[in-house]
Structure 1
Amino acid sequence: MPETVETPLLRDRAFVLFLLARTVAVVGSAITTVALPLLVFQVTSSPLVTSLVTAMQVAPYLLFGLIAGAMADRLPRRRLMLGCQAVSAAALLSVPVASWIGQLTAPHAVVVAAVVATSFVWFDASSFGALPALVGRSRVVPANSMIWTVTTLAGLGGPVVGGALVATVGAAPALSFDAASYVVAGALLALIGRSFDAPDARTRSPETLRTGIREGLQFVRRQPVVRSLTLLGFGNSVTGGAVSALLVVFAVRDLGLSEQGSGIGVLVAVVAAGAFLAAVALRRLTDRVPIGWITIATLSTNPVALLLTAYAPSLPLAITPLLLWSFTSTLTILNGITARQLVTPLELQARVNTTARMLAWGGTPLGALAAGLLAEFTSARHAYAVMSSAVLISAILAWRSPLRARSFGVPAPALQSP
């Protein structure tokens, strides 16, 4: 059973191990964020092919999100998460091995991105349900805030380390460090003595996979907070997919940074810094500002920040608007995740959160491929400008939606209660 609400999170051994596992994995993944797209761009020099890495990192959510969510509410979550860590480590390790024997190709790298992303779907589904089970619903907001703050802080250094590794050992060998991070993170999760499952997971009557999927879909459709934030998140994900897919291309071709990786690592670190600030701000904002108002503000600011980034003439002038873009994009996502975890029953956590994320993130591969195609014929700058229209549409719809009402969703003060 979760610890009582009075127990400080940092004195809760199960939570600390969970937090450490996430932190280690984030550092490794931040290295791959720099190394893998850069590797593909070095091999192909094609913005479109490079954008496939981002598309493949999200596309599995569209294919397997519903199934993974239902399975994560039925199967032992710890075993599922450990299996996913092992698969990801093996897939990433295949890249430096293939490079060492002279058999590495761009399709191989893209397939590895797809395999790691597919494993992440099941891991993410299990993680969504595991956190409330580990800490209790009353501590979901502070637990989420602490996890996002620490992991995004770790993510600040990860891209810089990734850039340095690429510059010293090469893009392919750098991925072995991410493979090792999955092994370490898995070991930390295995040390947690508390159950990752809902208290009544073993006593609930069995249900078919189809029934579990249907229950998740019905909850998302009928719950007004989850439905509204999920649909509006689609535009945010289209624009986010475009930015992520072309970040390396934008850095090299438009900002004039070196392909060797160090400068690109700094640019990725700026994105991580925006995410860190969003995680820090989340707790204070949700204490004082209604859920809907937060989303309206972030969606409205996001396209302006991206336009300023797109036409910045140099790296120093691109840093501030890119930081703002990352902050608003991440805060939109975190606000939606927290709201979902607060209003969703424990036994539905995995399937509801994966269903909502699948729908909200559905725009990421579309944005990535559309931006890559635009950049093939114009530039990353123009592609960014065009793709900012997706989140602008979400902002316009948000202003005309029930999110404007102070009473929308869970009132801000109530976010502290179970």
Structure 2
Amino acid sequence: MTARTRYRDALAIGEFRAVFAAHVLSMLGMIVAQFATSVLVYQSTGSPLLTTLVFALAFTPHLFAGTVFSALVDRMPVRRLLVTCNLTTATLAATMAIPGMPVWALLALVFGIGLVGPIFSGARAATLPEILPGPAYIPGRSLFRLVSQGAQVAGLALGGLLLAAVTASTALLMEAGAFVVSAALLRFATKERPPRAKAGSLLRDSLGGLRAVLAVPALRRVLLLGWVIPSLALFPEALANPYAHEQGFSTVQLGLMMAVLPLGNILAEFIGMWGLDVEHQVSRIASLAALVFVPLLGYALRPGFIATLAILFCSGLGFAHHLGLDRLLLDVAPEHLRSRALALQTAGLMFWQGLGFAVAGALAQFIPITALVPATAAIGLAAVAGLRPGYAAAR
């Protein structure tokens, strides 16, 4: 039986510690920047629609930028690309802090930051297997997910505390500083790695790489499964507010509903990392992915508050399937396509989750939530059955 991997396997590597610290800073910075910008927009317009556009514009560029600019991860030295992305984001965030900035300009700058994000994430994902060879890779990826989940809560709380003490513009300047520190960590504490590809048409190279990745059947199935599960599983989260209103839940109860799913995700990462070796992480992908959706069928019974918390928490536990998917993607991706596949995985995940939020809201205008969530859960179970990794790996 293969040995279990541990978080200390990743944290023992100095270069990873620098990349991880930079990730924590940039993740918190991104969330606080979005929060502060939404406050600026609302203060200027009083429009809830324009305020929500701040978050929508942060998601929508991911597939476009991750596709069109994906070749950059092979054509530029990775450290230079990462540092450039962080400094560009810092510059855009600082520009947003200029007093009197028109709303259209603020939204355009948010879109610009959204374009930079997938390039940065794709480049970091592509180089992570080189920083974390062998068994250290899975716990490293897990730590990034734990930070992403925790930062959603901590970043919003930090944003609220900051804006209680300083203006939104000052908060944006502080977060621009966080991106500069992140860039410095990457510049001085990581190795430079030469580009893997020669210069040429960036668009042609990017689209060619996309076609090559999706032309590999096993790899295509792994990517699709990794995108379909979270984009369907987020429906209860996207519809938490209207469901809480329908059921008469208090604001405090709504907050607990929003927190319990990421809590289940975090606990699942720990349990999967400490309780399963690599072989079993891969072999249990399908069963854990099914666990994401089976509890959500309970929405058909119009669950009360405690039952809803239990449903969401159990669904969150199924996200331990990510551990096995990470390993499987490395196994099925040809060496020359690995960096493109990792970049596409990250960009696609963000895009499809953003689209999932939009679709959930649109469908809820016509379909009761107690019917919509079970229906999407059933679709999710069908997708898991059709894209089950055992079949994908065998191709």
Distance 1:310 1:162 in 2: 37
- Which residue of the partner structure matches residue 276 of structure 1? 266
Distance 1:221 1:357 in 2: 18
**Cα distance change on mapping 1:9 and 1:355 into 2, 3 Å:** closer
Equivalent position amino acid for 1:236 in 2: I
SS at match of 2:75: coil
- Which residue of the partner structure matches residue 21 of structure 2? 20
- In structure 1, which of residues 409, 414, 417 is the aligned counterpart of residue 393 of structure 2? 409
Contact 1:20/1:185, CA 8 A, preserved across alignment? yes
Contact 2:296/2:377, CA 8 A, preserved across alignment? no
* Offset from partner CA, 1:66-115 (integer Å, 9 cap, x none): 232212111111111112112222333344434xx3x553x555434322
Distance 1:144 1:138 in 2: 11
**Cα distance change on mapping 1:345 and 1:133 into 2, 3 Å:** farther
Equivalent position amino acid for 1:281 in 2: I
Matches within 5 A, 1:17-56: 17-32=18-33, 35=36, 44=46, 46=48, 49=50, 51-56=52-57
Contact 1:77/1:196, CA 8 A, preserved across alignment? yes
Equivalent position amino acid for 1:232 in 2: L
Q: Is 1:114 aligned to residue 104 of structure 2?
A: no
Distance 2:171 2:37 in 1: 9
Equivalent position amino acid for 1:228 in 2: R
Matches within 5 A, 1:102-251: 103=101, 105=103, 107-149=104-146, 152-153=149-150, 156-169=153-166, 173-197=170-194, 201=195, 209=202, 210-211=204-205, 213-224=207-218, 226-239=219-232
Q: Any stretches of 5+ residues in structure 2 without a counterpart?
A: 1-7
Q: Any stretches of 5+ residues in structure 1 without a counterpart?
A: 1-6, 411-418
What is the deviation of 1:28?
A: 2.6
What is the deviation of 1:244?
A: 6.3
Q: Is 1:349 aligned to residue 338 of structure 2?
A: yes
Contact 1:60/1:118, CA 8 A, preserved across alignment? yes
TM-score computed with the length of structure 1 as normaliser? 0.73
SS at match of 2:251: coil
Distance 1:40 1:247 in 2: 24
SS at match of 1:218: helix
TM-score computed with the length of structure 2 as normaliser? 0.76
What is the deviation of 1:352?
A: 1.4
Distance 1:266 1:91 in 2: 34
What is the deviation of 1:21?
A: 0.8
Aligned residues: 383
What is the deviation of 1:264?
A: 8.4
* Offset from partner CA, 1:3-29 (integer Å, 9 cap, x none): xxxx95434321211111112222333
Equivalent position amino acid for 2:385 in 1: W
Equivalent position amino acid for 1:180 in 2: G
Q: Is 1:298 aligned to residue 289 of structure 2?
A: yes
Equivalent position amino acid for 2:380 in 1: S
Matches within 5 A, 1:335-374: 335-373=324-362
What is the deviation of 1:41?
A: 6.6
Distance 2:300 2:110 in 1: 27
